[in-house]
Structure 1
């Protein structure tokens, strides 16, 4: 029996960018609307909703789903636009908008735990 594999970018309709930009360290969580819209969401949205019941960074979601970061960014941005997830602004960074060293160390530690 052969297995059919879907190319990752077919999950986003071939899109590699979205209107909402999410940094890799951005924390996302599922909200109440995701549970209510479970029947109308796509399969990918349902999987991400289940995963993000606990806070995860965009990078962690990509790693846990074993999908390219670009694909996960588009999926999460779509979910944010549909108000299916909460995007938590970290607020840590310098005046140029770059993440702080402590934030990068925490992201690295989280990725190493995966």
Structure 2
């Protein structure tokens, strides 16, 4: 039985009925360099040609600036597949990207330990 709004793509018992890499036509490398923390935002331009339902969902999620990681989580797709979908949308002018801006060093040991502690508390 499919969850509400998911259509034929998800099944409660079986999970995803379409394999994630089918969504990206087997591609594993995006044409645009995207980091998980990169922000993407819709430009308002309509993509030419047919794009899959996942492209439309991703574009809808990007009405406001959002990170690549958040789009992947919302689409319930692996990050690499999401990066390919988003790069398709960037290539056709429907999305714009902005590299992540760090106020702290992302490899700061104290920051990474704080994140790890937080994750351990959640488990």
Give me the TM-score of the superposition, normalised by structure 1. 0.71
Q: Which structure is higher in RCO with an 8 Å CA cutoff and minimum separation 6?
A: 1
Query: Does 1:80 pair with 2:99?
Result: no
Poorly superposed stretches of 4+, deviation over 2 Å: 1-4, 36-42, 89-94, 98-101
Please list the CA deviations of residues 64-109 of structure 1 after superposition, one character each: whole Å capped at 9, or x if unmatched: 1111111001111111111110101334489xxx7475xx88xx7x
Q: CA RMSD in A?
A: 3.1
What is the DSSP-based 3-state SS (H/G/I as helix, E as strand, rest coil) of the residue aligned with 1:63?
A: helix
The aligned residue for residue 63 of structure 2 is 53
Pick the structure with more helix per residue. 1
Residues in 1 aligned to 2:48 and 2:42: alpha-carbon distance in whole angstroms: 11
Query: Does 1:8 pair with 2:10?
Result: no
Q: May I ask how many residue pairs the two structures share in their alignment?
A: 100
In structure 1, runs of 5+ residues without a counterpart are none
Assess if the C-alpha contact under 8 Å between 1:93 and 1:100 holds in 2.
no
The aligned residue for residue 63 of structure 1 is 73
Give me the TM-score of the superposition, normalised by structure 2. 0.66
In structure 2, runs of 5+ residues without a counterpart are 3-7, 10-16
